Amino acid sequence: MNRYPVIIIWALLMCSCGKKIKSTSDQLYSRHLQKNVQLSIISTPIPDNKSDLSLLIMNDGQDLDAFRMKEIIDSLWKKDRIIPLIVVGVHAGDRTREYGVAGKPDYQQRGNRADKYSSFITNELYPFIKKRSGARSFKNVVIAGCSQGGLSAFDIAWNNADRFNKVGVFSGSFWWRDKDAADPLYNDSLNRIMLNNIRSSRKRPKLKMWFYAGDKEENSDRDKDGITDAADDTRDLIALLEKKKSVSPADINFTESPSGTHDYSSWSKNLPAFLTWAFGTK
């Protein structure tokens, strides 16, 4: 593949001239994943001082249009609500295997390549973005995702808090478990993988967290408390973080929508709140 056109487009994206939100695409070969990974890039106008630039890495980057990412960033930028920003959407490959908790697949062996995906993000994609953008460092480095991609984003940020300072999770799959919920021996307190990781982990300093869950995402209610599992699992994870003092309560933002559904219609409605939380001018 001829790389020169792509390099030229990145150079135009990084140019400080103009006021429009720009977008392009690229790809990166991953040694960890043994394949080319497609990328969608959205950029606000870039400041002359690249250290004033922030970075958002999005799982399921093939769905940035469904998320209305460019449209919403354009609106927030015009209203002076967000600081300069590059969004790199990573197109999902085998998301069932690559999204999950690194080194701990679920009871159906989903997420058994999550460790390789995490290594791709931290060891290959992040240096690639720095090189392409010409930034020696970023003001904020944030990762986010929806559903299983949200679980993946949280796991990557949790294990790499020296790299990421914020994480956004839309309807995260925190039900991820090592035993089938139908198994008579299943126990919420013992078998949810991400919550067990938190229980056994040390404090993660300087990691700020944003969560969203909707009360209409599903009908499943394992503990029969009238709250759907999507919201319950997120609540339980936050309660555990606060109990263990893994992060300060002031660094956790949780939005629960009574009418929220498990789709981009609901997620995009909450995207402006996430972006202004992560990259707000105030």
pLDDT tens, position by position, 167-204: 999 999 999 999 998 999 999 889 999 999 999 887 77
Dist. CA 141–CA 211, nearest whole Å: 17
**Token pair for residue 260?**
């929220």
Dist. CA 28–CA 105, nearest whole Å: 26
Q: What is the DSSP string of 183-206?
A: STT--HHHHBHHHHHHHTSPP-TT
Strand order in 22-30's β-sheet? 22-30, 35-43, 85-90, 54-58, 141-146, 166-170, 208-214, 252-257
Ranking 58-62, 88-92, 179-183 by mean pLDDT, the lowest is 179-183
* Residue 273 pLDDT > 60: yes
The answer as to CATH 3.90.1200.10 being correct for domain 4-279 is no
* Residue 97 pLDDT > 50: yes
Dist. CA 180–CA 261, nearest whole Å: 24
To the question of pTM greater than 0.85 for the whole model, the response is yes
Rounded to the nearest integer, the mean pLDDT of the chain is 90
* Residue 146 pLDDT > 80: yes
Of 107, 281, 102, 256, the closest CA to residue 194 belongs to 102
The burial class, CB within 10 Å (0-12 / 13-18 / 19+), for 53 is: buried
Phi and psi at 246, nearest 5°, equal: -70, -35
